Amino acid sequence: MPEPRTLAEESLLWVRDLQYRLPDAPTSPGRLLWQIPSLEWTPDPGRGWVHLSGDNGSGKTTLLRVLAGMQPASGGELRWQKGAAGQIRYLHQQPYLFDTSVAGNLVLAARWQPQRRSAGEQRDQVEAMLEWSGLSEHARQPARSLSGGERARLALARAWLSRPPVLLLDEPAANLDQAAVEQLAIRLEQMSQAGCAVILSSHQDNALSHGCTARWTLAEASLHTERMPG
């Protein structure tokens, strides 16, 4: 008989006693920023995303970076499901755009994706992402000349091109107007329906926070989880 699956294997994300301490003196453990005693998370397919909230300085960005494997935790265990590990995408609050055209940014993403694709397949991916992001008319325009909302959509399309199983976004709505945020929400909903698990941080009440199906709140150095109705 096959071995029974453990919680770590069944959950997309599994955490035990994960903590982060702010660097202090060499002989000091540092001030505790947050600690997560236990967390098992597997999103419902096609049902929105997790909204990570908390006051400024609560450690939202640090938590996302730890989840993305970009920053080590101070202690504890963190495991992603086998198929997701190593394929997690993280978008900074101000995503870096290469000094080339809109299409050029997507071409680079197509070349560097983990899966090997033929040149024809890569061209198809670029065309599909230009259309998906609503940037086809700007394909030859310098990426850095785009508006804030257009830059955000390009960064999202670049991340989504390789179809990652998990996407982490740090304050994606920062400095965007309501219309631009709504455009992001539409595309995140499409990504969720296609099977991408999304965790995003935001301190604002907007279309991104309204579209979540779970809320994680960092407060008093702890993570509080809440499932939203619907």
**Domain residue ranges in the chain:** 7-227
Query: How confident is the model at residue 230, as a pLDDT?
Result: 62
pLDDT above 90 coverage of the chain, percent: 77
Task: Tell me the CA end-to-end span of the chain in Å, nearest whole number.
Answer: 38
Query: How confident is the model at residue 62, as a pLDDT?
Result: 98
Tokens found for residue 39: 């967390």
Task: Single out the residue of 96, 33, 43 nearest to residue 66, CA to CA.
Answer: 33
**122 band by pLDDT with thresholds 50, 70 and 90:** very high
Question: What whole-number distance in Å separates Cα of residue 136 and Cα of residue 130?
Answer: 5
Task: Return all residues near 183 (Cβ < 8 A) that are at least 6 apart.
Answer: 134, 149, 153
For 26, counting Cβ atoms within 10 Å of its Cβ (0-12 exposed, 13-18 middle, 19+ buried), the class is: exposed
- pLDDT higher than threshold 50 for residue 2: no
Task: Single out the residue of 80, 100, 61, 55 nearest to residue 203, CA to CA.
Answer: 55
Render pLDDT for 41-56 as a digit per residue (tens, 0 to 9): 998 877 779 999 999 9
Task: Return all residues near 135 (Cβ < 8 A) that are at least 6 apart.
Answer: 102, 146, 150, 153, 154, 157
Cross-strand bridge partners of residue 200: 51, 169
CA atoms within 13 A on the CB side of 132: 24
Antiparallel, parallel or unpaired: β 197-201 and 75-80 = unpaired
Number of other residues whose CB lies within 10 A of the CB of residue 70: 12
7-227 domain in CATH 3.40.50.2000? no
Q: What is the pTM of this model?
A: 0.91
- pLDDT higher than threshold 80 for residue 104: yes
- pLDDT higher than threshold 60 for residue 4: no
Average pLDDT, the chain: 91
- pLDDT higher than threshold 50 for residue 1: no
